[in-house]
Amino acid sequence: MTIAEARVVPAGDAAWLVELPDRLDAGINGRAVDLAARIRSASWPGVRDVVVGFRTVMVYVDPLGAGVDAVPQRLDEILAQPASGRGREGSSIEVPVCYDGACGPDLPDIAAFAGCAPEEVVRRHLAREYRVFVVGFMPGFAYMASVDPRIAAPRRSSPRLKVPPGSVAIAAGQTGIYPSESPGGWHIIGRTPAKPYDPDRAEAFLFAPGDRVRFVRISAREFDASSRWGAK
Amino acid sequence: MRAGLTVVRPGMLTTVQDLGRVGFQHLGVPVAGPMDWYSHRLANRLAGNEASAAALEVTLIGPELETDADVWCAVAGAAFDVTVGGDPIDCSQPFAVPAGERVRFGARHAGARATLAVRGGIDVPPVFGSRATHLVCRMGPFGGRQLAAGDRLPVGAGRAARGGHEVVPLPLPSGGARLRVLAAPHRPRFTGRAWEALTSTRHTISSQSNRMGYRLEGARLTHAGPADILSEATPIGSLQVPASGQPILLMADRQTTGGYPIIATVITADLPIAGQLAPGDWVEFRECTREQAMAALAERRPFDR
């Protein structure tokens, strides 16, 4: 990727946005992850938060911080350098999912969308390895892609007011796990006992951009045996 | 036992806030913090605290609190009648609350949110480095909820107040406000007419507004293309426009990322004014330059830099 394909633009008066080509693409996102890692490790004065988007890096600054005026120039300098490879290789994570019964209430809808049996939807969801492109929306929520186009239904026309925590959902070519009970517009096809965010765990957050995720099927009995969602 | 304030009546929505949860947005952890950063800093300044000390954010209808030790307090932001032991106090100065007495918020005259700071700060355990409350994520003190009757707020060790500082309260909006904006990176995703409508017509803050954001009603802002983008980080003050064309002004509790284009971003200097608005208030947006934004921020004179 050349420098010409990236640009640094102000996003309000307290952030700079690095924009990369506007495509859902693992390579572009990898570049964003790499940039963010380098920006964080550079510890420039006045930088508060560095947030990876699908094809962007938002660099939040203290607008009156000493030395903060140098941030856009430093970003240009980093963009001019070749990718460091840092943060390119994310972790490989296996996530157990129960697709049976009440765990996957929207499986019939997706099956209807795809014109196949619900079991085929499950098979296709399990068949791929997904990349975590972005962590956002709520603590620990990972936007993963890409879902098999055949089951990539758009968002639900009316969002649910309450999605149970651990719900595994798909929408618009992406898949994700709701870390806590919340409203949500994605189709719920399964449920996992794994917690994307657990404040009581040493590593509170399960996912980071660049991670690779595989879903592994478990039975309803295994889900019930290992789920701690009810304990809270 | 350490000094503490006990909530007698919580008011409409009173939360513990500090300057926000910085440094964890890349994990999806929202910033939270005060809706009016200026008054948070001013109240702490008056109380003799660091700007980062945790204080109470009071919304529309204020609380009543009882102290079990002699404490110093200060109030900034929305203009409320405030009494201590039934006697009215002057909110431009810090004030003493003797042990056993109550601080009570009464009628509100202007603005939507006030900060009540206590010398020593509200000393609750930090979560990810911050004492800010995020209501939707239930993160922060008291399980991330608003305060309820009976809650006891521990007060940290006090320190000597600084003298001789100039106190400039925030000019409070009345019925609405004009906010200055900078064009956002997604502005080319909107029609020229949308920009015209944004910067020349009045929007109203709808009842579907909270600490996460204000849903605005008014002229429809039309996208030049699709109303969805690949999700990216969402700065505070951003005017995010979903397919409906009705913008949402993202405030303190905003989500870390969003999938709708952002047409403009309110400048940092004017965020405190935005934080003093309530449902039913009008809002107008005017484009300014980056230089004007920085000058306005310097003029707002943040404390404790």
3-state SS, B75-90, equals: EEEEEEEEEECCEECC
CB-based contact B136 A205, cutoff 8 Å = no
CB-based contact A15 B235, cutoff 8 Å = yes
Amino acid at B186: H
A19 vs B: CB within 8 A: yes
pLDDT > 80? residue A86:
no
Which pLDDT band, with edges at 50, 70 and 90, does A71 fall under? very high
pLDDT > 80? residue A39:
yes
B256 vs A: CB within 8 A: yes
pLDDT on residue A2 = 54
Residues 88..127 of B with a Cβ closer than 8 Å to A: which?
A: 127
Question: CA A86 → CA A34, A36, A39, A132, B305, distances in Å?
Answer: 6, 9, 11, 16, 33
Distance from CA of B99 to the nearest CA of A (A): 36
pLDDT > 70? residue A230:
no
Interface test with B, best of A7, A16, A49 (most B CBs within 10 A): A49
Give the nearest chain B residue to A200 (CA atoms). Answer: B127
> If you search the block for the tokens 């429809």, which residue do you land on?
B220
Residues 6+ apart with CB under 8 A from B41: B51, B302, B303, B304
Distance CA B240, CA B246 (A): 9
Instruction: Quickly list DSSP for B51-110.
Output: TTS-EEEEESS--EEEESS-EEEEEEEEEEEEEETTEE--TTS-EEE-TT-EEEEEEEEE
Among B27, B294, B302, whose Cβ lies nearest the Cβ of A140? B27
The pTM of this model reads 0.94
pLDDT on residue B303 = 66
Distance CA B35, CA B92 (A): 20
Which pLDDT band, with edges at 50, 70 and 90, does A232 fall under? very low
B26 vs A: CB within 8 A: yes
Distance CA A47, CA A39 (A): 9
**Parallel, antiparallel, or unpaired: how do β-strands B248-250 and B213-217 relate?**
antiparallel
β-sheet bridge partners, residue B190: B223
**Residue ranges for chain B with pLDDT beneath 50:** 164, 305
Q: Looking at this predicted complex, what is its ipTM? A: 0.96
Interface test with A, best of B22, B24, B27 (most A CBs within 10 A): B27
Give the nearest chain A residue to B253 (CA atoms). Answer: A138
